[in-house]
Amino acid sequence: MAPDQPGRAAPKARRLVVAAVAVAVAVAIAVPLVLRGGEEQDQPVRVPDATGVAAHPEQSPPRELIAAGGVAVSAYFTRKLVEQPDGDAVGTYEWRLLDTTTERYGKTGWAWLDVAPGMRTAAVLERDLPVSRVGLLDLATGKIQRWIKVDSGVGGVEFSPNGKHLLATAYRLNPDGLFKEASYRLNGRTVPGPRPSRTGFYVIDVAAGTTTAFGDRPAEAAEQGGPAGGRQDFHWSSDGQSVWEPDNSAEGKTYYDLTGKKSAAPDPGTPASYPGAALSPDGNLMTGDFVGEGDRIVSEIRNARTGERHAVVPGQQLLAWADNSHVIAWRCDPRRCSPGRGEFRNQLLLVGLDGKATPLSGFRSEKLRDQGRWNPILTRR
């Protein structure tokens, strides 16, 4: 599910079915959240004690660092629709990135970005996607350390769980573009739609600045006559040995090796679950789905091996593990959370397996197209 859809759990891709991501801005569907893994560090990183909590329940969107346990909000984005000539449009992402020196979020001009585990470096893409180079940005100085060139344009990047590689999804057209020639009917209106243009993905060695593999995986065709194309980024598996994209299977993912050939799931011993399931740092537990009824706004925690329910905790959507007994979650305002009323007015919480909840941010606007409706990137620090 998307972060702006209550009552269900979010796919880790970030991520929605192919067509939904492409028209995120036009139909007010949010791109899901991201969690990055740990990374070996050879220098200290200027962030607060990883065991502590940095909370700002009075701020939404946040201006100052939000963090808990081993995870921090490294960046966040809002979206707006920018009309283009001849009836086209572009779903534009506006990013705020953490300055690790001031511990404040600052607006950037990048079209797309991701933050490496350890929160020292961000991978950034310039405007007018797709682009032919990836920048490595120092979070402490805000300056580009170097550029990495690729053979054909890319529209999305994601760091591997250990931070040593980048996964860059390649496109022929802007993956967030909406085109008059691809128009379709939405809520009784004709609106511009996405076009399929994905060509595959690059695997980039960050230290060497070189491409180590290219997976040839063009965009899939539309299903049941719906809009197809647009942003169809690939994502790393939890072990960093393969990549995946959303599908309509029970697990919600199709896996590929680093050359683009279909492969098995990396851990077949783990019970199949929705795509957004996140493992606790010790690997014993995983986040589960929304299981609330009536006025109860709760989700489940499962045993990672058996799939059995371990606990029920507050929250509509469990996003990331702060440590082995605490999860970062979205939860709507209980006073305004009945179906059809205020169910999108939610805030970040730190919730424990004992049911205790600590607010981390203020409440987001319940208006899905509001510029104050921010979407965080969660990164291991």
pLDDT of residue 345: 86
The ranges assigned to domains in the chain are: 18-380
pLDDT of residue 186: 85
Alpha-carbon distance of 289 to 303, in angstroms, equals 13
Residue 215 identity (one-letter amino acid): G
pLDDT of residue 161: 94
Structure tokens at 159: 């760091």
Other beta carbons less than 10 A from residue 254's beta carbon: 18
pLDDT of residue 224: 43
Instruction: Extract the residue ranges of the chain whose pLDDT is less than 50.
Output: 1-50, 223-226, 272
Q: What number of CA atoms fall less than 13 Å from residue 160's CA on the CB side?
A: 19
Q: Residue 255, Cα to own-chain centre: how many angstroms? A: 18
335: helix, strand or coil: helix
Residue 174 identity (one-letter amino acid): N
Residue 246 identity (one-letter amino acid): P
Region class of 127: left (phi > 0), else alpha (psi between -120 and 50), else beta = beta
Q: Are 136 and 157 in contact (CB under 8 A)?
A: no
Q: Are 29 and 4 in contact (CB under 8 A)?
A: yes
Alpha-carbon distance of 277 to 283, in angstroms, equals 12
Strand runs labelled E in 206-297: 210-216, 235-236, 243-246, 253-256, 262-263, 285-290
Task: List, in sequence order, every residue forming a beta bridge with 96; answer none if it has no partner.
Answer: 76, 107
Q: Are 37 and 380 in contact (CB under 8 A)?
A: yes
Alpha-carbon distance of 277 to 288, in angstroms, equals 6
Residue 3 identity (one-letter amino acid): P
* CA-angle at 233, arms to 39 and 11, nearest 5°: 75
Q: Are 137 and 95 in contact (CB under 8 A)?
A: no
Of 155, 150, 24, 67, the C-alpha closest to 378 is: 67
How would you list the strands of the sheet with 298-303, edge to edge? 285-290, 298-303, 309-314
Of 336, 323, 235, 318, the C-alpha closest to 284 is: 323
**Domain 18-380 fold:** Neuraminidase (2.120.10)
Q: Are 361 and 96 in contact (CB under 8 A)?
A: no
Alpha-carbon distance of 147 to 153, in angstroms, equals 14
Global confidence as pTM:
0.84
